[in-house]
A and B are shown apart, each in its own frame.
Chain A
């Protein structure tokens, strides 16, 4: 049982480049979320989804896009990377939301 799998684990981008952070879960969870973690800021919600075909914005959505074409996958796209997007990104999933989320191991992104 793999849980929540994030790829890649590390990435360096140049300003202006685009990329997709992958997130996949094998627990048939309906709820999935993307967070970014910055020093002293805790975890801030970027986008979330309550099921295939349904997404919504979180606290810090600018510069990021998501889609949810299947229950298993919830990719996060950076449209034009900026140094302010240097962060650690976590994907999480849950069956009900109210009983706890399972987190992936994170993607550390550096934009130069």
Chain B
């Protein structure tokens, strides 16, 4: 079956530090890949997505590249801000077929000033 593995948290960084959150996946077909963000007390928001190999998703300074050869979709940001403190979820959905999102367990990021 499909699964997503992401790095365990929590991750604590100083403001303006570089962020990487690792995500790898297992899928039987050709999945779309997503990063969702959950701010404290809120629901999940789509941060970025990629639907095929070598696609780069980007939003709000965050980037992730769909690497089929390494089955990875690592999230990066060059300079984090305190407002980036949240829980980040990697997820996948099959491009073909009627499959809902499958999530990783989430990584909590805390950015300190």
Contact = CB atoms under 8 A, between A and B. Distances in A.
Interface of A: 31, 33, 35, 40-45, 48, 50, 58, 90, 92, 97-106
Nearest to A51: B98
A42 B105 contact: yes
B99 A41 contact: no
Contacts of A90: 43-44
Given A100-B34, A100-B46, A103-B44, A42 B100 contact: no
Contacts of A104: 43
Interface string B22-52: 0000000000101010000011111001010
Contact of B101 (A41, A92, A106): A92
A20 B43 CA distance: 19
Contact of B106 (A33, A42, A97): A42
A7 to B, nearest CB: 13
B103 A43 contact: yes
Given A97-B98, A98-B51, A103 B43 contact: yes
Contact of B100 (A41, A97, A105, A106): A97
Contacts of A92: 44, 100-101
Nearest to B34: A100
Contacts of A106: 42-43
B105 A41 contact: yes
B70 to A, nearest CB: 21
A27 B82 CA distance: 33
Given A103-B43, A106-B43, A98 B93 contact: yes
B95 interface: yes
